[in-house]
Every structure is written in C-alpha cells, then in structure tokens.
Chain A
C-alpha cells in the first residue's frame, strides 16, 4: 500500500535552533501534504496544507514564518521549525492525500531543550 516515510522519528534540539522534518511519499504522488501537530493527550491539530509547487496554506493561529513548509516535488514535503522554543516540543506528523484516502507518516517527536 501507499507509504509516507517521515524523518527523523525523534529529534532533540537546543532552544533557538531550527529543525527540518521530511516526508516522502514512496509509491504515490502526493500533490497535497498535510502537516499536523499533537500535544500530549490532545488531538491532532492541522497546522498547514501544502500543494506541490505552490505556497502552503496555514491554519488560523499558526505562524507561517516560524513553520516553513516546502513542497517542491510530488514526493517530498518538508517542515522546518525555525528558532525552536520548548513550547514547540510536540509530535509532528504529515499526511499525504491520494485518491483512496490519506496516508500518514510515522511522526517526529521534537523535544526542544
């Protein structure tokens, strides 16, 4: 079946640094990729929707200058958390949409210290 490969699975970074998370669709072309964030004991919250070759569309309250999304090809989308702070520590997960539904990456657990 369709697979979205997400890396890294876990990252610890220092406050003020930037972290890049990659999601690759391995056997389908993900023209649309969704980026979610999940805090402990909370639901997945959509951060932004990216379409290949165009700017991402961000949900209300999500800072686009802080969470940079690039979707330069049909198989790769990246999320960069810039100037990370401890409150950005969370579980970040991507999802590619295809005709048959949505395929999720395995998630990235970010800890900012």
Chain B
C-alpha cells in the first residue's frame, strides 16, 4: 500500500466550478500535512498546511481527519490559473533514517477550462 494515495484524475471542470480532492495516508504516526501545487516540469510549491480544525485560505479549504487518516482540499470558484497537479504531502519520521521527511502522493491533476 502506498504511504499517500490520491486519485490521479484528471479532473476537468469549467471555470467557476467547485472541486474537491481527497487523499489518504497509511502512517498513523504522521506528524504534519500539506497540500502542494506542482505545475508541469516545475518544482512543487506549498499551497497550504492542513490542520484538524480545518483551515481556509481564500478560495481554498483544507481539512484533516486523523481518525480516518484522510485529507481533503476544496477549491471554490475555479480559475484557469488553478490548472495544475495538486500533491498531498505528509511529514513523517523515516523508519530507516530516523529523520523527518516529506512523503508525496502522486498528485491529482486539475484542468480548468473556459
């Protein structure tokens, strides 16, 4: 089982639509959680951290359910510029190394069309 699982998509939505992405993680000792955005052939960029209480940043809302080991991202009023791959990322302590490390999901591709 992958440590972080996401639906790869693509999700094709029209401008203005609301779209939701889900993610599950397998390591119950995971310590912190993030959504990153990655544009084609570019480095990932932090979109937002995810907290159990839920957090919102403009049109983006993230939610964490530790009991279900489930993370979500909601994008409202989609813009063309939101087209990208959204990566669910978990910070865990590596079994081999003992160091904290980021584990990435494969990403969910979003295509927003006019």
Contacts and interface: CB of A to CB of B under 8 A. Distances in A.
Contacts of A49: 94, 97, 99, 101
A104 B94 contact: no
A26 to B, nearest CB: 15
A51 to B, nearest CB: 8
Contact-residue size bin, chain B (C-beta under 8 Å from the other chain): 20 to 34
Interface residues of A, number: 23
B99 A104 contact: no
A58 to B, nearest CB: 8
A57 B96 contact: yes
A67 interface: no
Contacts of B102: 34, 46, 95, 102
B87 to A, nearest CB: 7
A106 B43 contact: yes
Contacts of A46: 94, 101-103
